[in-house]
Copies of this chain bind each other. A is one copy, B any other.
Amino acid sequence: MSPVAFSSSDDQLPLGEYLFRRIRSLGIGSIFGVPGDFNLGLLEHLYSVQGLKWVGCCNELNSAYSADGYARMSGKLGVVVTTFGVGELSAINGISGAFAEYVPVLHIVGTTPTIFKADGRFTHHLVTDKSVLHAADHYSYENMVGAVSCCAETITHADEAYQKIDHVLSEILYHKRPGYLFVPIDLADSLVDSTSLLTTPGEMFYERPIDPNPSQTLKIATLILDKIYHSSNPCILADVFTDRFDMTETVREFVKSTQIPNFASMMGKGILDETENSYVGSYNGNESNQAIIDWIDSSDLLIHIGDYDNEINSGHDSIHSGLNEIITLNHERIRVCSEIFTDVNFVYVLPAMLALLEKAKIPETITDNWPIDKILMNHPTPVPTPHVSQTDLFYSLQEFLRPNDVLVCDTGSFMFAIPDLVFPQGVKYIGQQFYLSIGYALPATLGVGKALQDMGFESRLILVEGDGAAQMTIQEFGNYIQEGISPTVLLLNNSGYTVERIIKGPERTYNDIVPHWQWCDLFRVFGDYTETKSSSVKVKSQKDLSLALNSIQSGKINMVEVIMDKMDCPWRFIKMTANSKSKV
């Protein structure tokens, strides 16, 4: 999408209109949120901006999750609008998740008017001070967001509005993390300087600044290539910052050119082209399949690209514990074996490596028995069950996947089976693999679906959702119908919080969920009474699951309630739990 064409050459616009035009100029077509009396005056300006659509969510947490999904799918930005206090706090867990997982989201909060802030009056939605004798602090909520945002701007006067708006957006897109914009509602209609819409078009916000240290970049790129040339059996581990800092194509090209055996990290699933001969599987240290661990351990050089060092991704700190030499590259730090550099950024080093690459010097590592049978290597035999086993589901999903599908998975047991899937070309995977807030994926899928619509993509959308997670955010199903989002929903009904049962209390009531929901009636109740836009079926066996997946109706929401055992769980989660317990 190209930035919107302005209908006038005015150099001033109302603040709200400037804000939404700026957002539109970034290629955004949909924004999410809930109205409230402190943001209505801002929302009014939406209607002056062609091509920007309001998606009213059922609540603010769902809005934040939707905006996060929109950002991940579009590769641009997600936007959520809430109201003072009640709205912004309801959304904060969604923002925190986006911060933890490096997702660019702008959270616009309509706040109390400037004069209220100045005189500290006791306005509704406000928490009064510990003592009623003191004036109220209208900045209480704003003061909470420092740890969950890369930038927070409070507009205090119309004169500074455009700079602050542009600044928070540019910080968000540079750091790939959420930012806040607090707009006192009395300023929504104030005229602000809007010339920057012409002088700084939206595309410029996505441009990478010029490398501040090109000689160091060249040195490090050369050093890394030299390490690779002198290794005998290198491997590449693609991690999440590769995706977040737009290095996916560069890494894919490097992999294609070098044919170095390559692996995906837990958070890096989907970055690599898994149809490449050189793709092996998923690696997260001791929590991986043993065959993968053996492979990595036998390599003399591990090149970990876009590394995000956290316990999930690193297999509880076991990912770099082998005997091989390690290279890690991300946006803040590059480690080349024993040397650490913090004055370089992989967004410059990787392209330099690609430019300098001498293919002939890359060691040949692909042996006679290549390609190995990737799936069988990774996945154990099904556990016998009268219902659908996790393994059944895994194989069915593997068979169901088509090129360019978008797969969203909520936090829960099956998330730990996904690394074993081998994706057809162009499959995109979205899940909150580190922050792990349950209930994320259901509204995130709304955002993903809106992004696909805005991008004009026809990808199939698949949501894997646990029953416990679904109960958290279920109301947003109604918006699938309203907004014309048509995913295939695999609703895993295993009667509670299976991942928690594995950790503790397998039979405890605290791991039960509110029982007996009629999952297959939900889309009827939430707006598709005549089932013209959705189709729902409950399956209790592998055969019925296959049948259901073979009968998916295009253009409809296809809900498949999958009956599973409450203690059935992918092998990786069990291995992870055992490994993590040993670390406490």
A residues near B (Cβ < 8 Å) are 35-37, 40-41, 43-44, 46-47, 54, 56, 58-59, 61, 85-86, 89-90, 92-93, 96-97, 99-100, 113, 115-116, 121-128, 130-133, 137, 140-141, 143-144, 147-148, 150, 175, 177, 186, 308-312, 317, 330, 332-333, 342, 434-439, 471-475, 478-479, 481-482, 497, 499-500, 503-505, 508-518, 521-522, 524-527, 529, 584
Contact = CB atoms under 8 A, between A and B. Distances in A.
B59 A472 contact: yes
Main secondary structure of the interface of A (DSSP, over half): loop
A33 to B, nearest CB: 8
A508 B514 CA distance: 36
B125 A436 contact: yes
A189 to B, nearest CB: 11
16 contacts: A58-B472, A85-B93, A85-B437, A89-B92, A92-B93, A100-B128, A124-B310, A127-B435, A132-B332, A137-B147, A144-B144, A481-B516, A517-B525, A518-B525, A521-B524, A522-B525
Nearest to A516: B527
Contact of A309 (B89, B99, B132): B132
A500 B132 contact: no
Nearest to A340: B133
Contacts of A46: 510
Copies, count: 2
Nearest to A62: B472
Nearest to A150: B130
Given A90-B61, A471-B59, A500-B36, A521 B525 contact: yes
A435 B332 contact: no
Contacts of A500: 35-37, 40
A58 B333 contact: no
A372 B44 CA distance: 45
A472 B93 CA distance: 16
Given A61-B61, A127-B148, A529 B525 contact: no
Contact of A59 (B332, B439, B516): B439
Contacts of A47: 508
Given A148-B127, A478-B517, A35 B132 contact: no
Contact of A122 (B113, B128, B132, B310): B310
